[in-house]
Chains A and B, each alone.
Chain A
Amino acid sequence: NAGVTQTPKFQVLKTGQSMTLQCAQDMNHNSMYWYRQDPGMGLRLIYYSASEGTTDKGEVPNGYNVSRLNKREFSLRLESAAPSQTSVYFCASSQTQMNTEAFFGQGTRLTVV
């Protein structure tokens, strides 16, 4: 059981380049999330999707776009990368019902130079 899979695991971008971080889950979960974690900090919610076809802003959405492609996949796009977006990005998923826990991927380490 793969759980939550993120690709790529590492990426280096130049300022102004664009890229898409991919996330897929195989647990038939309705809700999916994208977080960023800066060094020595906690996780901050970028965007989340409560169900297929819906997305909502989290705490730090500026500079990012998301797509809930289908129930399995939730992608995060950086249109014009900036050094301030250097971070570790985590994807997570959970079931819709209350009283359930979330499962996290292993992260994508992004460096913008």
Chain B
Amino acid sequence: DAKTTQPPSMDCAEGRAANLPCNHSTISGNEYVYWYRQIHSQGPQYIIHGLKNNETNEMASLIITEDRKSSTLILPHATLRDTAVYYCIADYGGATNKLIFGTGTLLAVQP
């Protein structure tokens, strides 16, 4: 599984877009980029994942660079409830999915 690097913390103003970066320079061709978040001490929650193309769902957008060495999670209109630790994971998914978490980014949305 490729190692990922994220900034330890970020701030964002409420209502603005939150852009969370992730570096995964050793990612292999079959590894997906997954994003999860953990609000307070709850169980982590899946947000989005992608392989090569940019992805969007009701929660967020995922932008993956063409060389796949980095990605950005975008929360288009951050709210106070988006304050959480965000984890970026590079993994194959499925039967070989070990789902190894790093330390994540603590996003603090400010009023």
Which residues from chain B sit less than 8 Å from chain A, CB to CB?
30, 32, 34, 36, 41-46, 49, 51, 85, 87, 92-104
Q: How many A-B residue pairs have CB under 8 A?
A: 80
Contact of A104 among B44, B49, B95, B97 (CB under 8 A): B44
Beta-carbon contact of B44 and A43 below 8 Å: yes
Which residues from chain A sit less than 8 Å from chain B, CB to CB?
4, 30-31, 33, 35, 41-45, 48, 50-51, 58-59, 88, 90, 92, 94-107
Contact of B95 among A33, A88, A96, A101 (CB under 8 A): A96
Output the nearest chain B residue to A97 by Cβ-Cβ distance.
B94
Task: Tell me the smallest distance from the CB of B55 to a CB of chain A, in Å.
Answer: 11
Task: Please report the C-alpha to C-alpha distance between residue A19 and residue B102 in the assembled complex, in whole angstroms.
Answer: 28
Beta-carbon contact of B101 and A44 below 8 Å: yes
Beta-carbon contact of A90 and B97 below 8 Å: no
Q: List 19 A-B contacts (CB under 8 A).
A: A31-B97, A42-B87, A42-B104, A45-B99, A45-B101, A48-B98, A50-B96, A88-B41, A92-B44, A97-B94, A98-B92, A98-B97, A99-B51, A101-B34, A101-B46, A101-B49, A102-B97, A102-B99, A105-B43
